[in-house]
Structures are given as structure tokens and as C-alpha cells.
Amino acid sequence: MKVLVTGGCGFIGSHFIRVIFAERPDWQVINLDALTYAGNLANTLDIQTHPRYRFVYGSITDKDLVNTLVSEVDAVINFAAETHVDRSLMDNEPFILTNILGVQRLIDACVRHGKRFHHVSTDEVFGSLGPDDPKFHEATPYDPRNPYSATKAASDHLVRAAVHSHALRGTISNCTNNYGPYLYPEKFLAIAITNLMENRPISVQGDGRQIRDWITARDHALGILAIIERGQIGHTYMMGGDAELSIAQTARAVIKAMGAHEEMLKFTQDRPGQDRRYAINYSKISTELNWKPQVTFEQGLEQMIRWYQENESWWKPIKQSSGYRKWYEENVGRLT
């Protein structure tokens, strides 16, 4: 099996490639990545010289490049995306280009060459839940609330449409909040851990009661592998982590796991369009494909903290860059 992984220098894509090399000794991987601010070659440092790996620098919006690469593989797994909600509120154009046009380019090439396509999507397309609402499931109506989730919703619809109109051999997965090693330090858990390591507080937006369901990127990657191999064509599969926690509870869990003081938790102003609760019912993938998360939140958090402690050389250059410092001061708080 030869697969094209797009966005494999990002957080989850790089975990997926690592999972493939560990679990499927005969698979080959081409990684197509445009190396945006979120794409980091250091995420793939341990796999760059792997004999079954090839990196191609380029964009999923590049029609000719996509067409050529898709013709060379058996399947395409799309992780490439603009993914940060706050950035989508400031400038939606890269989101529309990559998350909509880019996905359509991949679909077109897979249809042209008759290739299997798996699209990695998010639970954010379903909007927000009230405290007592049932969890999101495969038939939950779409209700995106910000430009990021709206573009991801659009891409899901494009995949579904192509399954019907052009017999695309496509599947979709919608997953909840991922965490683990290599999480870019503009995402909450990575900021929280590295801030405590730098003796800075953890900032929580609003009242901190927004609920997220946390899953490790490795568990997510294992679920995607199961879908590619055994999922039903045209189907959507939801994945969650069995770890519904408010942001304030999550921050406190980090503080406790790192032995820091409660005073390191600070509350700041809410961002616009903040969703209150995400949670996933993953019974379909569990019943059909025998998938469930392998680690608890406590285990995953401990592994993540240890990784950040042992890999300062990965995150410190990011946090010290002028682009990151500017983003942090504009979105989180003053850096002294």
C-alpha cells in the first residue's frame, strides 16, 4: 500500500505517519505539505530518513502537483488544513483556499484516478452543545459557528457529494480535540504546559466552563487507520476521547500533574463565537471497527508533559520566534 498523506508536517498528520510506520511495515508514505506556520519539519525529524518516506513540499491547491501525486498512490488521507479558529476570525482567505478549494482538488484527482480518499474533519462542524444535550453523533445536523468550522463543514459536504455524484471511494472522520506531543504551542494544552515550564500563568478565556472532549492524536490516528482499511465507503465515523472536561478543569489537571500552584490559573476575556461544549458519541466506530481510545486523559496528559519536558529544543524556538511572540501578545497576554 502506498499512501499520500497531506499536511503530514502538522500535529495529527505527523502522528499518523508515525503510526503507519509502526503498525504497517509494508506501507509507503508520500507527505505533501505546504509548510505553513503550523507545518514544522521538526515534527517529522524522526521519520525524515525512513526508507518508506518521501516528503514533497507543495500545496493541495496545486492542481497539477496533486494530480501527479495522486496517480502514484493507492489512497489519500487529507490532514492538510488551516486549523486555528482565532486566526480564521482575523483572516478567512487561507481557510477558504485550503479547506475548501484544496479539498476539492484532492477529490477531483481521486475521482480521476479511482483512488481511495479519507478526509479528516472535526466535531466543530456540529456547533455547540448545551450541558445536557446528547453527544454529537454521525447524524447530528451541521451547525458551524466560525469561519474555520464553516470551511471544514463545506469540505465534508464536498466529499459526500462526490461519493454520490462521482462514485468517490470516500470516508470522513469527525474527531474531537486532540492533544499530545508536537501540539503547536498556540493550542491550549501546549500553551498551558510550556507556560508552566517557563513559570508563566495559564490563561483561560471567559469563565473556563467551555467543555472539550480530549483525545490523543495517536488514538485518533489509529482510528483513521481502521477506517481506511475497514470503513464503509461513503460513511462518516466519529471519534472522541471519553474525556469531557471544562477548560478550567483541564488547566487545573495540568497544574496538578506538574505540581504547580493554583494561582498560575488566570481568567481573561472570551473570544467571539466560543462554543460551549463539544462531546462525541463514538459507538459506531467502536461497534463496526472495534476502535476505542487506548489511553485515559490522565495517562495521555502525563505522556504529553514528559514529552514537552524532554523536547524543549522542539518548542522553545517556536515560542521565541517573533511571529509567535506577536501572536501571543495579541491573543493571550503580555510576554515579559
Ligand X SMILES: NC(=O)c1ccc[n+]([C@@H]2O[C@H](COP(=O)([O-])OP(=O)(O)OC[C@H]3O[C@@H](n4cnc5c(N)ncnc54)[C@H](O)[C@@H]3O)[C@@H](O)[C@H]2O)c1
Residue 285 makes contact with ligand X by CB under 6 A: no
Return the C-alpha cell found at 273.
463565537
Please name the residues in contact with 213: beta carbons below 8 A apart, sequence gap of 6 or more: 123, 176, 177, 240, 241, 242, 243, 244, 245, 278, 279, 280
| Shortest reach from residue 199's CB to ligand X, in Å | 26
Residue 79 makes contact with ligand X by CB under 6 A: yes
- Which is nearer to ligand X, 117 or 184 (by Cβ)? 184
Residue 214 makes contact with ligand X by CB under 6 A: no
Quick one: which of 146, 178, 194, 236 contacts ligand X (CB under 6 A)?
178
Gyration radius from the chain CA atoms? 19
Quick one: which of 3, 7, 240, 328 contacts ligand X (CB under 6 A)?
7
Quick one: which of 4, 5, 13, 251 contacts ligand X (CB under 6 A)?
13
Q: Which of 9-17, 189-197, 245-253, 289-297 is the region at the interface with ligand X (rule: CB under 6 A)?
A: 9-17
Please name the residues in contact with 306: beta carbons below 8 A apart, sequence gap of 6 or more: none
Residue 252 makes contact with ligand X by CB under 6 A: no
φ/ψ (deg, to 5) at 326: -65, -45
Q: Which of 73-81, 131-139, 280-288, 314-322 is the region at the interface with ligand X (rule: CB under 6 A)?
A: 73-81
| Shortest reach from residue 148's CB to ligand X, in Å | 8
Pairing between β-strand 244-246 and β-strand 211-216 as defined by DSSP bridges: antiparallel
Burial 63-90 (b: 16+ CB within 10 A, else e): eebbeebbeebebbbbbbbbbbbbbbee
Residue 152 makes contact with ligand X by CB under 6 A: yes
Looking at the DSSP bridge assignments, the partners of residue 4 are: 30, 76
**Which DSSP symbol is given to 97?**
I
Residue 148 annotated in active site:
yes
| Shortest reach from residue 83's CB to ligand X, in Å | 4
Cα–Cα distance for residue pair 181/320, rounded to 1 Å: 19
Q: Which of 65-73, 80-88, 189-197, 315-323 is the region at the interface with ligand X (rule: CB under 6 A)?
A: 80-88
Catalytic residue among 33, 82, 108, 124: 124
Catalytic residue among 82, 108, 148, 156: 148
Q: In which residue are the cell numbers 466519529 written?
A: 238
Query: What are the catalytic residues?
Result: 123-124, 148
- Residues at the interface with ligand X (CB under 6 A): 6-7, 9-13, 32-36, 38-39, 59-61, 79-83, 98, 102, 120, 122, 152, 175, 177-178, 184
